[in-house]
Amino acid sequence: MSLKHHIPNLVTLLNLFSGCIAVIFAVHGNFVSAAFFVFLGIFFDFFDGLLARKLKVQSPLGIQLDSLADLVTSGVVPGIVMFKLISLTVDAPDYAMYNDSWNSVFHWQGFKMSVLPLIGLLIPLASAFRLARFNLDEDQQTFFKGLPTPANTLLIFSLPLILEFQNNDIMNNIIINKWFLIFITLLSCYLLNSSIKLFALKFKNWSFKNNAIRYIFLILSVVLLIILQFAAIPIVIIMYILLSLLDAKNIN
């Protein structure tokens, strides 16, 4: 096997490496740094497949390696984030007292662990199941069945980033609510493994007619992100699902 065949795999391993670093930061409650490395991993995840197609070196090994890397970056890491967020609602329900030093809530004081936050670890389990199904499903070449793991990861990570950067009392009170977090966890697990057909951001050509739904989605997403910042991410995910449902007849 030539060196060219290993270039996409190297990029995939960079995704995994980024995910491993993100795990370390997430465990210590540093979600900003964890988010940076997760976003970096998702960037590598996008380009490994693109490189494989451009170099014409797609292989079964690359497919399996890609899913293993995604399980860490887009499965384990968001699961840890949700675990820590739910832990915050259990150990410190009065969020207001932590406005000045939010991350200090996550410092360990001896070993103690509530059972409820373990619900957050359903996300890695659902992600693993989704990735295994994806590898066996030959239909998902031009579309997705269920929410892709990177999109779900962006949804989960938007929550601590909203808390950290947007300082909105209404949004903070919603997010730091254990029932809301449990609902988001269960919803994400369902969406990951649902049978809903979602369009993929793969352009066969640049024609607006053939890619109208993709252009509309990208333009609206950019506008929302500029206006609402991290709070736009959940809206973008909802919009992605709704646009896919509206364009269901053209997704194949």
Q: What is the tens place of the pLDDT at every residue in 8-35? A: 889 999 999 999 999 999 999 999 999 9
- Of the pLDDT bands very low, low, confident and very high (cuts 50, 70, 90), residue 98 is very low
Q: Is 27 exposed, middle or buried (0-12, 13-18, 19+ CB in 10 A)?
A: middle
Q: For position 110, what pLDDT does the model report?
A: 54
CB 232 within 8 A of CB 166: no
Nearest residue to 79 via CA among 109, 46, 114, 34: 34
- Of the pLDDT bands very low, low, confident and very high (cuts 50, 70, 90), residue 203 is confident
Q: For position 100, what pLDDT does the model report?
A: 39
Nearest residue to 188 via CA among 90, 82, 43: 82
- Of the pLDDT bands very low, low, confident and very high (cuts 50, 70, 90), residue 91 is low
Cβ count within 10 A of residue 232: 20
- Residue entry with tokens 């030093």: 101
More confident residue, 98 or 200: 200
Mean pLDDT, the chain, rounded, equals 87
Tokens encoding 99:
């406005």
- The Cα 25–Cα 156 span in angstroms is 15
Q: For position 112, what pLDDT does the model report?
A: 60
Q: For position 111, what pLDDT does the model report?
A: 53
- Of the pLDDT bands very low, low, confident and very high (cuts 50, 70, 90), residue 60 is confident
Highest CATH level, class, for 3-95+114-198: mainly alpha
Query: pTM here?
Result: 0.86
Tokens encoding 97:
């007292």
Nearest residue to 120 via CA among 154, 148, 92, 86: 86
